[in-house]
Amino acid sequence: MTTATHTTPRALTAYLRRATWGLPEARRQELWDELEEHVLTRADHLTLTGLTPTQATAQAIRELGPPAHVTLGMAKVYIMPNFILAAGTLALALSAGLYALAGSGATSTTLTVVRQAPVKPSCVRGTKPSGDNITIVSEKGGVTCYTFNDHEVNKGVFLKGTDVTRALETQGVTLSRNGRSLALGGTSVNARFTRDGVAFFDASSVVDLLTRTRSVRFSGYTSPRMQVGDATLLLNAGPEDIGAAFYNSSNSVFLSALIGQPVWGSYFVGTKTGPEHLISTRLQKGEAVMLVTSRGGTNFMVDAGKVDAQGRLSVHSQDRQLRFVSSIDQLGPYLSGGRRSALLVRITNVPLSDLKSGVFVPAQATSDAR
Amino acid sequence: MNPDLLRGNLDLILLTLLEQQPLYGFAIIQAARDRTGGYFDFKEGSLYPALHRLEAEGLLAAQHGETGRNGKPRKYYAITDRGRETLNTKRQEFAAFTGAVQQLGRNGA
Length of chain A (residues): 370
Model pLDDT, residue A93: 54
Regarding predicted confidence, which is higher, A72 or A114? A114
Model pLDDT, residue A270: 47
Q: Which amino acid is at A223?
A: S
Number of domains in chain A: 4
Q: Which of A27, A36, A64 sits opposite B44 (nearest CB)?
A: A64
Residue A247, in any domain of the structure: no
B44 close to A (CB below 8 A)? yes
Average pLDDT, chain A: 82
Q: Between chains, do A6 and B71 touch, taking CB under 8 Å as contact?
A: yes
| Lowest-confidence region among A37-51, A83-97, B16-30 | A83-97
| Lowest-confidence region among A23-32, A130-139, B38-47 | B38-47
Integer Cα distance of A15 and A11 in angstroms: 6
Rg (Cα) of chain A, in Å, rounded?
25
Regarding predicted confidence, which is higher, A144 or A94? A144
Mind giving me the DSSP string for A245-296? Answer: HHHHHTHHHHHHHHHTS---S-EE-TT--SPEEEEE-SPPTT-EEEEEEE-S
For the domain that residue B31 is a member of, what is the CATH number?
1.10.10.10
Q: Between chains, do A41 and B68 touch, taking CB under 8 Å as contact?
A: yes
Length of chain B (residues): 109
Model pLDDT, residue A97: 52
Residue A252, in any domain of the structure: no
Residue A255, in any domain of the structure: no
Whether residues A274 and A218 share a domain: the answer is no
Model pLDDT, residue A5: 39
Model pLDDT, residue B51: 93
CA–CA distances in Å: residue A311 to residues A73, A130, A295, A321, A351: 31, 48, 28, 20, 21
Tell me which residue range forms the domain holding B39: 3-108
Model pLDDT, residue A92: 53
pLDDT, tens digit (0-9, with 9 covering 90-100), for A9-24 = 778 888 888 888 878 7
Contact A229, A215 (CB under 8 A): yes
Q: Is the pLDDT of residue A3 over 70?
A: no
Nearest CA in chain B to A39: B26
Nearest CA in chain B to A38: B26
Contact A180, A191 (CB under 8 A): yes
Model pLDDT, residue A285: 92
Whether residues A84 and A148 share a domain: the answer is no
CA–CA distances in Å: residue A184 to residues A169, A217, B18, B106: 10, 18, 44, 58
* Beta-sheet pairing, B23-24 with B73-79: antiparallel
Q: Is the pLDDT of residue A190 over 70?
A: yes
pLDDT, tens digit (0-9, with 9 covering 90-100), for B70-104 = 888 888 898 888 888 898 888 888 888 888 888 88
Residue A242, in any domain of the structure: no
Average pLDDT, chain B: 83
Regarding predicted confidence, which is higher, A195 or B107? A195
Integer Cα distance of A77 and B56 in angstroms: 7
CA–CA distances in Å: residue A121 to residues A36, A142, A187: 59, 15, 30
Residue A308, in any domain of the structure: yes
Confidence of residue B66 (pLDDT cuts 50, 70, 90): confident
B31 close to A (CB below 8 A)? no
Number of domains in chain B: 1
Q: What is the ipTM of this complex?
A: 0.84
pLDDT, tens digit (0-9, with 9 covering 90-100), for A286-337 = 999 999 998 777 678 888 999 999 999 999 988 899 999 999 889 988 888 8
Q: Is the pLDDT of residue A107 over 50?
A: yes
Confidence of residue B109 (pLDDT cuts 50, 70, 90): low
Regarding predicted confidence, which is higher, A105 or B12? B12
In terms of Cα–Cα distance, which of A358, A153, A112, A350 is closest to A235? A112
Rounded to a whole number of angstroms, the distance from the CA of A288 to the nearest CA of chain B is 16
SS3 A237: strand
Alpha helices in chain A (DSSP H): 10-19, 25-47, 53-64, 67-78, 84-102, 161-168, 203-213, 243-249, 251-259
CB pairs under 8 A between A and B: 75
| Section B4-30 average pLDDT | 86
Q: Is the pLDDT of residue A271 over 80?
A: no
Whether residues A85 and A125 share a domain: the answer is no
Nearest CA in chain B to A72: B49
Taking the CA atoms of A193, A199, A202 and A206 in sequence, report the sign of the dihedral they define: positive
DSSP A154: G
Tell me which residue range forms the domain holding A332: 260-368
Whether residues A122 and A147 share a domain: the answer is yes
Integer Cα distance of A312 and A309 in angstroms: 7
B37 close to A (CB below 8 A)? no
